[in-house]
Chains A and B, each alone.
Chain A
Amino acid sequence: MKPPRWAYWIMLPLAVALWALIAALLKTPLLPSPSAVLGALWQALQSGDLQQHLGVTLRRVLISFVLAMLLGALLGVWMGRSPLANALFDPLLVLFLNLPALVTIILLYVWFGLVEVAAILAVVINKVPNVAVTLREGARSLDPRLEQMAEVYAFSRWQRLADVWLPQLFPYLMAATRGGLALIWKIVLVVELLGRSDGIGFQLHMAFQVFDVASILAYSLAFIAVVQLIELALLQPLERRASRWREAGAQHA
């Protein structure tokens, strides 16, 4: 059963109202009112700080996301297709899946210094195992009957990849993308907090040192809004486009 539309618009305003009420009662800078947070957001926008640091963070998210998806997908598909590759890499995968992100970040900063490469590498190392596990499932579910068809009709390597594999792997790629974005931007903030001198994570660090809660909340809200925008403007339309063929079967049946 579909819930009524207004059901989506209850809890969030209620939470904001409750927050405003408590803030008004306590009157402490440690819990600024919603309007104070909006003020801090406006100020950060006016000074250009928000755009600059948001840009830097988004660039790091984008680079590490692309690298992690590429490496993870290659590794995962290879492991899904080849039992030998799976046997070789599975123990490593288990190790890295259970390695805390913080440990990777600290070690890479210790070994390479507080440089950009170490920051990106730390995020990639944290994300590749998740992508690989998801894409391994996808590769295992590839339809062997379509493989035979592609073999008989002598499909080129490119046709096999783009026309046979990719549409079947697409739901898994989307799942890895969704999980990836959510995880990666959180790790990027930690990486920035620990060892970079720009980005949202660095700004949060600065605000933390002076207990500037309004700025912390303002930066967080801005980032949540941007990530939600990526979901609505990029991922959902892409998904709708790519899964149109599935509806054809559903209508017929």
Chain B
Amino acid sequence: MLELQIDGQASGHPVLGAITARVAAGDRICLLGPSGIGKTTLLNGIAGLDRRLGGRMIQRSRTLRIGYLFQEHRLLPWRSVRQNLAMVGASNAEIERLLTQVGLADAAEALPDQLSLGMARRAALARSLAIKPDLLLLDEPFASLDPDRAAELRRLITRLLDAHPRMAMICVTHDARDADDLANRLWYLDGAPAELLWDQPLTAATSASGISERLRAPCA
């Protein structure tokens, strides 16, 4: 289990306030909140990329493996898709399997800049799975894709999550409908400094779309 304690106020963090949350295996969390509120900052903090938070803010086992799909693909542009996956330690057989899963079996030898935006994102997704993560971080995976490509990617991610039931996921999105499709839990981040205003499981009765409507209304 990943225990998440971010105390931005104590460390003087400019964006993040006191945030306490637990992430258990199999959690599929969608992180919603207004633009620029600190959703990506929180993901970076969880991934250990925010030096200002220090190591003690996030309690996690040292062996926790995190796969991170950044907003940009962040593949090495001078290496082929195959080499990019090999770089994080995937064997040849695993690379074949992963690329087939994300529909890029034919693009293994292509350079990242030769791929379309959607293909590059799927290649980066394959890389984030190649390290066999316990926790998958997705930062706006559907941004700047046309509706068909976005729906396709949503189905792909759902399939991949179903194939790895122990893997936890935190997905930043600005569209509550993504949460209804992907998540079993909703985080809502708001305020300055940002805090988790909402941390609830999603059920058939409480849809993310409904909750986010309520949260966006002025708080009494």
The chain A residues found within 8 Å of chain B, CB to CB, are: 145-146, 148-149, 151-155, 159, 163-164, 167, 245, 248-249, 251-252
Contacts and interface: CB of A to CB of B under 8 A. Distances in A.
A25 B203 CA distance: 101
Contact of A159 (B47, B87, B131): B87
Nearest to B73: A149
Nearest to B115: A252
B49 interface: yes
B74 A151 contact: no
Contacts of A155: 87
Contact of B111 (A149, A154, A248): A248
B131 A149 contact: no
A148 B48 CA distance: 9
A37 B83 CA distance: 55
Contact of A145 (B47, B74, B78, B88): B74
Contacts of B76: 146, 163-164, 167
Contact of B49 (A152, A164, A249): A152
Contacts of A151: 47-49
B44 A248 contact: no
Going nearest first, the 3 A-B pairs with the smallest beta carbon separation are: A249-B113, A245-B78, A248-B111
A245 B74 contact: no
Given A155-B87, A248-B113, 4 more contacts: A152-B49, A153-B87, A153-B131, A245-B113
Nearest to A170: B78
B51 to A, nearest CB: 10
B70 interface: yes
Interface in B75-132: 76-79, 87-88, 111, 113-115, 127, 131
Nearest to B77: A245
B75 to A, nearest CB: 8
A12 to B, nearest CB: 37
A219 B70 CA distance: 58
Q: Which secondary structure characterizes the binding site on chain B? A: loop
Interface of B: 44, 47-49, 66, 68, 70, 72, 74, 76-79, 87-88, 111, 113-115, 127, 131
A252 B70 contact: no
B114 A252 contact: yes
Given A151-B49, A248-B113, A252-B114, A163 B66 contact: no
A148 B113 contact: no
Given A148-B49, A155-B87, A245 B70 contact: no
B77 A152 contact: no
A152 B124 CA distance: 13
28 contacts: A145-B72, A145-B74, A146-B74, A146-B76, A148-B44, A148-B49, A148-B70, A148-B74, A149-B68, A151-B47, A151-B48, A151-B49, A152-B48, A152-B66, A152-B68, A153-B87, A153-B88, A153-B127, A154-B88, A163-B76, A163-B87, A245-B77, A248-B77, A248-B111, A248-B113, A249-B77, A249-B111, A249-B113
Given A146-B76, A152-B49, A248 B70 contact: no
Central interface residue in A146, A153, A159, A164, by most chain B CB within 10 Å? A153
Contacts of A146: 74, 76
Nearest to A243: B78
A170 to B, nearest CB: 9
A145 B70 contact: yes
Contacts of B113: 245, 248-249, 252
Nearest to A167: B78
Contacts of B48: 151-152
B114 A248 contact: yes
Contacts of B47: 148, 151-152
A155 B79 CA distance: 15
Contacts of B87: 153, 155, 159, 163
A249 B127 CA distance: 20
B143 to A, nearest CB: 15
Max count, chain B CB within 10 A of own CB: residue among A164, A251, A252: A252
